[in-house]
Structure 1
Amino acid sequence: MDRDPRASPAAQPVNGDLPRGRNKRPPRGSIDVADLPRTRRAGEIPMKRTMIVAGTLLLGAGAVMAQQEIAVQQDNLMRSIAKNQYGVLQKMSKGDIPFDKAAADQAIAAIEADVAKIAKIFEINPKQDVVNATYGSSPKVWQNKADFDSKIPPVQKAIADVKGKITDNASLKAAYTSINDRCNDCHETYRVKLK
């Protein structure tokens, strides 16, 4: 048997119980380096710190992506309004495309639906602009949100006043001008040109 006759039987390790898989016990009075607390070697980064940094970077990247998503939603809403207002109503009123009552009514209905979403979509300040966008939202939107929101009902009223009343190019021009003027009341203060 591999026991030291001077040690008590409970304190004496047996062959399979030797620390760290060693075949021999260290000499009496010596320090076993494996039992000492481990210190960092030069260039070694503790795993805990690495995980904290990586987690923080992932959270930060997630927040940036979420902010960009909000900015994209806001930009898409404004582009949808512009597509109908400028791409249909303005072009038709200028004679760039032929007058089409059904198309004009459809554009008015789409603008009306999109304008109703503005207050909700612009609740959160994304604190950044959409990459490569021509226009963006001024920080004033969130600095004076009540005033920004107060600009929406006049646009809705202008739309309601012309809805279903467009019969020819002259009435289309009047409708376009009325709606566009109310939109510009907001754009003068709350829209910024980025490019």
Structure 2
Amino acid sequence: MTKRLILAAAVLGLGLSTALGQADVVRERAMLMYEQGEAFYATLNSMARGRMAYDQAKVDAAMKVLLESAEKLQTLYPPNARGQSPEADYFANAKAFENKADFDARLAKMKAEIVANAPKAKSLDGLKEAVGAIGQTCSGCHELYRAKKG
């Protein structure tokens, strides 16, 4: 009897830690996507559209955030980590996990676009070009694989 209780407790503990791990992954990717949105829309896109003064230091910092988060995001969509973070307005829909190869390819393309376009953002005109290319890649993935909470 005691061995069964120990085994049951171990299985329950493993299941609980797996569930908590999944929640951590979902929360981490939601936070990274939020950081990307802030860097891209609030900083880079605002500058490119003239809503904010061009500031090379802010451009460089925002590009760094985009690159670092793109590298991490590729590891945060394991098959067992579906769901949404309570803090986030958007989340990865079921198609992101059902079409995992395409989804992963789009994440890799996003990273490649950031790497290719960050060096162009050394002037306002270069920033506009970079924002256009990176934004197009992000939008293409969002149209297919992002859902709004609620």
Question: Comparing both structures, which one devotes a greater share of its residues to helix?
Answer: 2
Matched, 1:111 2:97: no
TM-score scaled by length of structure 1: 0.64
Q: What secondary structure, in the 3-state scheme, does the structure 1 residue paired with 2:91 have?
A: strand
Which of the two has higher C-alpha Rg?
1
Residue in structure 2 matched with residue 123 of structure 1 by the alignment: 78
Sequence identity of aligned pairs in percent? 27
Cα distance in 1, alignment partners of residues 75 and 20 from structure 2 = 20
Tell me if the contact between 1:105 and 1:164 (Cα under 8 Å) persists in the aligned partners: no
Partner of 1:168: 123
- The letter of the residue matching 2:86 is V
Unaligned stretches of 5+ residues in structure 1: 1-49
Q: How many residues align?
A: 149
C-alpha distance 193-55 of structure 1, shift in aligned 2 (>3 A): same
Structure 2 runs not aligned, ≥5 long: none
Q: Give the aligned partner of residue 102 of structure 2.
A: 147
TM-score normalised to structure 2 length = 0.81
Cα distance change, pair 179–71 in 1 and its aligned pair in 2 (3 A): same
Aligned-partner residue type, residue 141 of structure 1: A
Inter-partner Cα distance in structure 1 for 2:76 and 2:122: 33
Q: CA deviation at 1:56?
A: 7.4
C-alpha RMSD of the superposition: 2.6
Q: Distance in 2 between matches of 1:170 and 1:179?
A: 14
